[in-house]
Amino acid sequence: MRILLVEPGFPNRFPPLGLLKIGSYHLEKGDEVTFTKGLWPKARGFFFDRIYISTLFSFHHSLTVRTILHYKDLLKGDLRRLFVGGIHATLNSMAIFNETGVFPHVGLLNRPGILGNDHVVIDALSPAYGLLETADYSYDLKDAYFGYSTRGCPNQCKFCAVPMLEPTFVDYIDLKPYIASIVAKYGEKQHLVLMDNNVLASGRFPQIISDIRSLGFEQGAKRLGKKRTVDFNQGLDANRINPQTARLLSEICIEPFRLAYDSPREFRGFERAVRVLEGFGQKKLSTYVLYNFSDTPLDLYTRLSHVIDLNAALGTHIYSFPMRYTPLDARDRKYVGPSWTAKHIRGLQCILNVTKGLVSHRQDFFYRAFGNDYSEFEQILLMPDRYILNRLKHENNGALDWRTTFKKLTPSQKDTLLSTINSNDKGAILKAINSSRSFRMKSLLGHHLEKR
């Protein structure tokens, strides 16, 4: 058969593991397989027995639907030859069906016979790395083994999709035969990227570490003179870090060391984890900091500054990555949490745009970008976007005047300011300027009108 594997044209750092495993399945059957990214213009020149399309996040819905409809048309509506699956397909199958007429596969490919009348479990296959060469797209990291040593997570967090994507927690998957298969077909890889959602919850965690070491990823490991790394890409549960797990983690060449800091309730658990890890020599860490869920802007600032304080106290280098919550069925990224406003989120995105999405471990950098306290942080969030994005350019002219005037506002005037600038509607701002009796408010709102 002639097979086409399609990942829609959304940006993606890592190759689509599911599609590449489907590719292995068909290659082992002797089929001709092509992998492409987006709408492949040459596809109309071929007949395909099957087309597989992967999905990722719900906020890529429009692009995903456009991709499905494109290839559905290519097959002249023959849905028997069109297969859709992945994260968005599993979480929002009816949304895809309603707009495309294609009902996708829901869940993992972890049972025999899903794609054919055989006993092959697709999820257990090694990915067909060679197919990446056929796509006109370069992923950030290709020289790595991608896989799982566990599946699922017992935590059942309300903001997380894992309970629906991987409802059963599997506490051990033997990496050794999986890696051996990749080496036999495609040669050795430099790094190991594990997509486990909560590896520390496994009762067989010591065995997993032993497996990783036996595969050549012990602490200080090198290949061809270059250091190797292990990346638990989805982050590690800080609440499960203790002297035993920290000692085991210190035995492998883990980098970066990712922790999750999802809510202010985890303050003590996160700090305890950092202190334990630092005791085992782990000083370079990063942390995912969830926001826009049930937290407030104050909660976010408190966690970010907490990380900065730990760096100062322990000599650690912890980088923070604020991660914006979006509902699992959202069609775009416009969702605003109950304790946030659109302007707060827009202001934070402006800060992160300047910092390339991360928060440095350096105190001077943090306080300059985010403010010396929460009052300054909120003030920065409410500034005109251009003042945040070009802080140095406007520091001593427009931004200084805005800050000086803002500090003189009454609480009522601050509420009025926020409600006016929240939607970023220039017409509403101009209307508020014309109707206001306060020179202070007129002056402040004038900064939020883009100058010609």
Separation of alpha carbons 10 and 234, rounded Å: 20
Separation of alpha carbons 91 and 106, rounded Å: 8
Same domain, 421 and 373: no
Same domain, 99 and 211: no
Please list the residues that pair with 318 across neighbouring strands: 285
pLDDT at 84: 98
133 pLDDT tier (thresholds 50, 70, 90): confident
Give mean pLDDT, residues 307-319: 97
140 pLDDT tier (thresholds 50, 70, 90): confident
Same domain, 240 and 265: yes
Q: Does residue 133 belong to any structural domain of this protein?
A: no
Q: Does residue 89 belong to any structural domain of this protein?
A: yes
The H-assigned helical ranges of 155-286 are 162-165, 175-186, 205-214, 243-249, 267-279
193 phi and psi angles, rounded to 5 deg = -115, 115
Same domain, 110 and 237: no
pLDDT at 394: 85
Q: Does residue 18 belong to any structural domain of this protein?
A: yes
Over the stretch 171-182, which tens digit does the pLDDT of each residue have? 999 999 999 999
Separation of alpha carbons 280 and 420, rounded Å: 51
Dihedral (CA of 160, 163, 166, 169) sign: positive
pLDDT at 47: 95
Separation of alpha carbons 120 and 222, rounded Å: 35
Same domain, 289 and 229: yes
Separation of alpha carbons 246 and 162, rounded Å: 24
Same domain, 405 and 333: no
Q: What is the DSSP annotation of 3-71?
A: EEEEE-SS--SS--HHHHHHHHHHHHTT-EEEEEES--GGGGGS--SEEEEEE--GGGHHHHHHHHHHH
pLDDT at 451: 60
Q: Does residue 130 belong to any structural domain of this protein?
A: no
Query: Which range marks the domain in which residue 30 is found?
Result: 2-124
397 pLDDT tier (thresholds 50, 70, 90): confident
Q: Examine the pLDDT at 137 and tell me if it is beyond 90.
A: no
Same domain, 413 and 382: no
Residue 260 structure tokens: 């999750």
Residue bearing the bigger pLDDT, 393 or 377: 377
Best CA proximity match to 352, nearest among 300, 276, 429, 397: 300
Q: Does residue 24 belong to any structural domain of this protein?
A: yes
Same domain, 351 and 251: yes
Separation of alpha carbons 307 and 266, rounded Å: 12
Which single residue is written with the structure tokens 């797990």? Answer: 245
Q: Which residues in 255-276 are b (16+ Cβ under 10 Å) and which e?
A: eebbbbbbbbebeebbbebbeb
Residue 235 structure tokens: 């982050």
Type of residue numbered 17: L
Q: What is the pTM of this model?
A: 0.93
Query: How confident is the prediction for the chain on average, in pLDDT?
Result: 95
Give mean pLDDT, residues 87-93: 97
Separation of alpha carbons 446 and 122, rounded Å: 60
Is residue 343 within 8 A of residue 382, CB to CB? The reply is: yes
Q: Does residue 250 belong to any structural domain of this protein?
A: yes
Contacts of 377 (CB under 8 A, 6+ apart): 297, 301, 370, 371
Same domain, 311 and 429: no
134 phi and psi angles, rounded to 5 deg = -85, -10
Q: Examine the pLDDT at 201 and tell me if it is beyond 90.
A: yes
Poorest-pLDDT segment among 15-24, 220-229, 280-289, 388-397: 388-397
- CATH number where 183 lies: 3.80.30
Over the stretch 48-58, which tens digit does the pLDDT of each residue have? 999 999 999 99
Same domain, 179 and 325: yes
Separation of alpha carbons 103 and 251, rounded Å: 46
Over the stretch 216-257, which tens digit does the pLDDT of each residue have? 999 999 999 999 999 999 999 999 999 999 999 999 999 989
Give the domain-ending residue among 386, 411, 438.
Answer: 386
Q: Does residue 211 belong to any structural domain of this protein?
A: yes
pLDDT at 452: 41
Same domain, 250 and 116: no
Please list the residues that pair with 3 across neighbouring strands: 33, 50
- CATH number where 26 lies: 3.40.50
Q: How many CB atoms lie within 10 A of CB 37?
A: 20
Type of residue numbered 298: L
Give mean pLDDT, residues 315-344: 96
Over the stretch 97-118, which tens digit does the pLDDT of each residue have? 999 999 999 999 999 999 999 9
Give the domain-ending residue among 367, 386, 405.
Answer: 386
Domain count, the chain: 3
Q: How many CB atoms lie within 10 A of CB 190?
A: 16
Residue 134 burial class via C-beta count within 10 angstroms: exposed 0-12, middle 13-18, buried 19 and up: middle
Separation of alpha carbons 358 and 250, rounded Å: 25
Q: Does residue 132 belong to any structural domain of this protein?
A: no
pLDDT over 70 percentage in the chain = 99
CA dist list (Å): 350 to 164, 295, 317, 354, 388:
33, 20, 24, 7, 6
Is residue 263 within 8 A of residue 295, CB to CB? The reply is: yes
Over the stretch 267-291, which tens digit does the pLDDT of each residue have? 999 999 999 999 999 999 999 999 9
Same domain, 190 and 238: yes
